[in-house]
Structure 1
Amino acid sequence: MRVALTTWLARPLTSFHLVLAVFGLLTVLGLVMVYSASSIESLANGGTTYRVFQKQVIYCGVGLVLFWVALRVPPRVLRRLSPPALLAGVVLLILVLTPLGTDMGTDTRSWFRIGGVLSFQPVEFAKVALVLWGAHILVIKRAMLHQYRHLLVPLMPVALLMFTLVMMQPDLGGTIALGVIPLALLWFAGAPLRLFAGITLSAVSGALVLATTANYRLDRITGFLNPDDDPQGANFQARQALYALGEGGFFGKGLGRASAKWDYLPNVHNDFIFAIIGEELGFVGCVVVLGLFATLAYVGLRIAARNTDPWIRLVAATVTVWLVSQAAFNIGYVVGLLPVTGLTLPLISSGGTSVVTTMLVFGMLANFARHEPEAVSALRAQGQDRFSRWLRLPMPDPYRPPARRVRAPRSAAPAGRPPLRAGRPTGAVGRMVVHPLDERRRGRRGAPPEQRRRGAAQGGQR
């Protein structure tokens, strides 16, 4: 069994198939659990049990299109689009604070309403844009990252600007998820540990300040520190989630039989859907969910380690940490290990923009998996596999590092030789630059015999 697993993991397209498997299982599980968790609320508010589920299916359809597009677009094109994507993300975060944005019945102005039916949350798009652009900047400056000013600028000023815009909505959960991205980028770029000590201290101080500036956030913190206080107020959701997990037992009550969704647990199909999984599918269902996200962590870091393109390595590792950490935050506050932050469980919770964005990220991961050097060689030697043919994917291109050009020093033209044309560097042949040492050697070979002997004698004296 161990030998068979090791052999399968060594296959060139294992990463690609693992991404597709995790993506498909999480999507199907999410649709099933959203329908089960939202059926009672949908029936009470819309007269049909499919009201929330229908929206989720529409968003999944949009996400599948973006998944396929991200799977087909070459990584070099994605990298080229990262600066305008970041600009668009910042503009959207600014516009959502204007009357164009809406609060969707909550205390945060975080959405754009589309057609009165669908909604769009720009912070989710801004996360993807920050990952792509941040990796692009760090790869460009990778030779200077040993200096703090090149390591932190312009990444951290732009990230702080986005944090400020998200907190003005205000959206603490979105800020926390967004804050994971620059930390992951700096970590995988090789930033020193002492830098993370300062960033962590600043982040904790900022979180404490933000927690005390709004009463509902302060209630969440105090409720977490005192779980037995105010069971009908600040601790109501957290307590009901623990009751639901406890009633599920080892194998659960059965699909569709949870009692928490009968208005005992608010937002059960969104923020607290893991509690319904625990009640209906039991401990076994919770372990399956944890196993899927653990597999995502493994395959995402595997893709980053097996690629040679430094930009792909940074993006793959960062989006993996982002998705897995968001799942950890959500599961952590459902089981009572963290304060409630309002983050969704990726691909499982009901939430339009979150589902669409997560599917886009999975498409990029699958694309990067097909650009592993061994995968590229196998596809070019053996042809497309079954999934690639079914999805009509183009053949991936091997990574070609940028050519290093050496600028030859300018020198005066020898007597009797016509001067070089203006604008042409010394030693240049077309767009390639010949190394000065090669020029010197070629010049000696073309010199008269007595000049070559004199040069050799001078070299021996030196």
Structure 2
Amino acid sequence: MVTAGSATGTAGRNARTGKPAGLRGLVTALTAWLTRPLASFHLLLAVFGLLTVFGLVMVLSASSVDSFNQAGSSYSVFVHQLVYCAVGLVGFYLALRAPVWLLRRFSHVLLALCLLLLVLVLTPLGATASGAQSWFVVAGVSFQPVEPAKVALALWGAHVLVTKRALLGQYRHLLVPVVPAALLMFTLVVLQPDLGSTAILGIVLLALLWFAGAPLRLFAVMALGAVTGGVLLAVTAGYRMDRVVSFLNPGADPLGNGYHALQALYALADGGLFGKGLGQGWSKWEYLPNAHNDFIFAVIGEELGFIGCAMVLALYGTTAYVGMRIAARNTDPWIRLVAATLTTWMVAQAAINIGYVVGLLPVTGLPLPLISSGGSSVLTTMVVFGLLANFARHEPEAIAALRSLGPGRIGTLLRLPTPAPYRPPARKRPAKPPTSTKRPGSGPSRNGNSRSGTSQNSAAQTGRQSNRRGGSAGGARPGLRKQVTRGQASRTRTTGGHR
């Protein structure tokens, strides 16, 4: 019999446990979805699409005033960004379809081409903007060669380290030729000068060595060298020292070197929790320079508030998770190293951009990946996402599912080829010794001389032949066989030739 009190108590318990049960159900459903074979691929596509669309919306909002002042139209920068995204989608698709073996085999060609472009950009062929000679301008379209150089260093460096993975315990094999090639690239970029891109190239090198298993003391030495080099570069150039001083005390020169940092902080403070509303920010009205490029995160904070900033952080956090998941679930060592390195590079660049906007790092001029306006950066980042999506389809479980169940809706729509399973290179077997006729159980000679072994084999064969012919046991030596023959002959002569 159920009383009213017990019914009320049961209802109360259901009411109290309803929310945790629903939360547990959501966590269970998410966990089950993540165990699906193509979960990494689908999650990466979702993050890529959200970052691209969100970036276009924020570029339109942040650049409207500047575009109208420069070109008489509020959509000038947005249209250029839309064209760059269209070209970037082509690069994303090509990277998604490219065979993995082809990317690895021609990584050295891509590295050599990027080094050549970094040399040519320092000649009169290169264009100067914002005090740095870092661009090629062709038919009004600018191109920055250091962006694809980051990808080339990751692809080629991973190829070298994986090829020499059995020898990486020795420093000369661990460091050569990856570190000298990276130092050459650093030098060419510093000469532009572009310290922000140099820092990203350094992160790519450190990620390669870290995920390849380099010892910790090597990173301590490299960190000390990086700090020493940074101090020397800051001391030798006045504008670099001014950036360091403005970072330490931006209020000392609020209308000069500290202007960018202070205006970014003001924009973030005005946004509050929920922001002023999309398109309603005041910082883009010439208060915050480069609002649609380097400091677009400040515009996000002003117009969308803390909620918008948290959403951006969540998207980059998801990018870090899915990139490392792809690296961990693959069996190809080259894919593992490249995926981890590219993920570290993108997330680190986002962290540096957000860090100098909120005042935690000096201003370096690095764009926010897939959100800031810019041609080379957007195109390269989309190619990187295409590579990661390609690697996600090469997970062993994904390959098994694609081969047994078909390409699926997305694979059919994009006409993606079925990836081939990874087959490790065949190990070279030691050369087989010459075929021996020794009896089973007989061991090698003590001196290991092949000739003595051959003579022993010949003696054994002769002994067996004597057993078959003369019936002697134990494999008698040839001299004993001659003695037995003479004895038989003497007995034959004694008995008159009769048995």
Shared fold (TM-score greater than 0.5)? yes
Question: Counterpart of 1:164?
Answer: 187
In the other structure, the counterpart of 2:327 is 304
Does residue 275 (structure 1) correspond to residue 298 (structure 2)? The answer is: yes
Q: Give the deviation of 1:272 after TM superposition.
A: 0.1
Q: What SS class does the counterpart of residue 132 from structure 2 fall into?
A: coil
Cα distance in structure 1, aligned partners of 2:403 and 2:319: 27
Q: Aligned partner of 1:10: which letter?
A: T
TM-align CA RMSD: 1.9
* Equivalent position of 2:232 in the other structure: 209
Question: Which residue does the alignment assign to 1:27?
Answer: 52
Which residue of 2 is the match for residue 398 of structure 1?
A: 421
The separation in 1 between residues aligned to 2:123 and 2:322, in whole angstroms, is 40
Is 1:375 the counterpart of 2:402? The answer is no
**Deviation string, structure 1 residues 70-122 (Cα, Å, up to 9, x no partner):** 00011111101100000001000000000000013x2000000010x210000
* Seq. identity, %: 65
Q: Distance in 2 between matches of 1:55 and 1:294?
A: 28
Residue 3 of structure 1 corresponds to 28
Q: 2:117 aligns with which of 83, 86, 92?
A: 92
1:109 match: secondary structure = strand
> Partners of 1:376 and 1:169 in 2: how far apart?
44
**Over residues 164-202 of structure 1, what are the superposed CA-to-partner deviations in whole Å (9 max), with x where a residue is unaligned?**
000000001110111100100000000000110000000
Equivalent residue number for residue 428 of structure 1: none
For residues 434-455 of structure 1, give each alpha carbon's deviation from its aligned partner in whole angstroms, at most 9, with x where no partner exists. Answer: xxxxxx9xxx9xx97977xxxx
Distance 1:185 1:208 in 2: 25
- Aligned partner of 1:343 in structure 2 is 366
1:47 corresponds to: 72
1:227, CA displacement in angstroms? 2.6
SS of the equivalent of 2:251 reads coil
Q: Which residue of 1 is the match for residue 95 of structure 2?
A: 70
CA 269–410 in structure 1, closer or farther in 2 if over 3 Å, else same: same
Q: From 322, 330, 345, give the equivalent of 2:345.
A: 322
**Corresponding position of 1:234:** 257
- Residue by residue over 1:229-277, the C-alpha shift from the partner in whole angstroms, topping out at 9 and shown as x without a partner, is 1111111000000000011111111111110000000011100000000
| Paired position in structure 1 for 2:177 | 154
Look up the match of 2:204. 181
Structure 1 gap segments, 5+ residues each:
416-439, 452-456, 458-462
Structure whose CA Rg is larger: 2
Deviations 1:122-162 (A, max 9, x none): 00011010000000000010000000010000000000000
The change in CA–CA distance for 1:449 and 1:310 in structure 2 (over 3 A counts) is farther
Cα 1:50–1:406 shift into 2, 3 Å: same
Aligned with 2:138 (options 86, 99, 114)? 114
Give aligned pairs, total. Answer: 420
Amino acid at match of 1:26: L
Conserved? CA contact 2:250–2:257, under 8 Å: no
Higher relative CO (CA 8 A, sep ≥ 6), structure 1 or 2?
1
Native 8 Å contact 2:117 2:145 kept in 1: yes
Aligned AA for 1:171?
Answer: D
2:132 counterpart letter in structure 1:
T
Task: Report the equivalent of 1:259.
Answer: 282
Question: Is contact 2:300-2:308 (8 Å) kept?
Answer: yes
| Aligned 1:195-206 pairs, distance under 5 A | 195-206=218-229
Alignment equivalent of 1:102, drawn from 127, 134, 138: 127
Distance change (3 Å), C-alpha of 1:450 and 1:16: farther
Q: Matched residues in 2 for 1:302 and 1:208: separation?
A: 37
Distance across 1 between alignment mates of 2:267 and 2:31: 39
- Cα distance between partner residues in 2 of 1:138 and 1:383: 34
Q: Where do 5+ consecutive residues of structure 2 fail to align?
A: 1-25, 438-452, 465-473, 475-499
Alpha-carbon distance in 2 for matches of 1:165, 1:22: 34
TM-superposed deviation, 1:409: 6.1
Instruction: Give the aligned residue type for 1:363.
Output: G
| Structure 2 letter corresponding to 1:79 | R
Pairwise CA distance, 1:228? 2.1
Partner Cα distance (2:37, 2:419) in 1:
13
Alignment of 1:219 onto 2:238: no
CA contact (8 A) 2:47 2:319 kept: yes
Q: Distance in 1 between matches of 2:463 and 2:241?
A: 89
Distance 2:33 2:286 in 1: 46
C-alpha distance 377-218 of structure 1, shift in aligned 2 (>3 A): same
How far the C-alpha of 1:410 sits from its partner, in A, is 7.3
Residue 83 in 1 paired to residue 122 in 2? no
Q: Could you tell me how far apart the structure 1 residues matched to 2:334 and 2:224 are?
A: 29
SS in structure 1 opposite 2:287? Answer: coil
CA distance in 1, matches of 2:341, 2:59: 28
Give the Cα separation in 2 of the matches to 1:330 and 1:156: 26
Tell me which residue corresponds to 2:18: none
Native 8 Å contact 2:250 2:259 kept in 1: no
Offset of residue 5 of structure 1: 1.3
The structure 1 segments of at least 4 consecutive aligned residues displaced by more than 3 Å after TM superposition are 447-451
State the distance in 2 between where 1:142 and 1:254 align: 53
**Offset of 1:212 from its aligned partner?**
1.9
Aligned to 1:418: none
Match of 1:434 in 2: none
Conserved 8 A contact 2:369-2:381: yes
The alignment partner of 2:137 has SS state of: strand
Residue of structure 1 in register with 2:41 after alignment? 16
Amino acid in the other structure paired with 1:358: T
1:56 maps to 2:81: yes
Between stretches 224-233 and 251-260, larger displacement belongs to: 224-233
Distance 1:29 1:361 in 2: 18
SS of alignment partner, residue 119 of structure 1: strand
Q: Which digits, 9 at most, give the CA deviation of each residue in 1:302-323, with x for residues without a partner?
A: 0000000000000000000000
